[in-house]
Amino acid sequence: MFDKSKIDQLRDLVDNDPVELASLVEEYESNSAKLLGQIREALERRQAQELSRGVHTLKSSSALMGAAGLARQCEELEQQTRFGSIPEDAGPKVTALETSYRDAMVWLKGQLDAG
């Protein structure tokens, strides 16, 4: 569900600076929350391309932060919406993304404390 090696890579990238790492996590948190809002809105408006674009972006940033489970969920929904259709179960999938995002934030903040 989580890939600790990605956090270790980020730590190396910021020369083990806990303030810089916390800043990266905060930026991910802020951007991802906005993306989830855009994803939810695209779903409600039945805009498949916007939905696909949002989950693609969330997938990429989540993978970089070590939220591998969330990234996999995004990839699945991205594949289903890529060609302009929204699957019938998209609502529950977006809700699952939101839950996984909250779990990822708990994990990421725990990694900051463990660092």
Query: What pLDDT is attached to residue 82?
Result: 87
| Cβ pair 55, 42 in contact under 8 A | no
CA distances from 41 to 9, 34, 48, 59, 72 (A): 33, 11, 11, 17, 21
What pLDDT digit, counting tens, does each position of 51-74 carry?
999 999 999 999 999 999 999 999
Q: What is the largest CA-CA distance in the chain?
A: 45
State which residues of the chain have pLDDT below 50: none
The structure tokens listed for 89 are 């179960």
Query: What pLDDT is attached to residue 115?
Result: 62
What domains are defined for the chain? 4-114 (1.20.120)
Residues in the chain: 115
Query: What pLDDT is attached to residue 97?
Result: 97
The structure tokens listed for 108 are 């990421």
Query: What pLDDT is attached to residue 13?
Result: 94
How far is the first Cα of the chain from the last one, in angstroms, to the nearest whole number?
19
> What DSSP letter does each residue of 11-68 carry, written as one string?
HHHTTT-HHHHHHHHHHHHHHHHHHHHHHHHHHHTT-HHHHHHHHHHHHHHHHHHT-H
Query: What pLDDT is attached to residue 114?
Result: 76
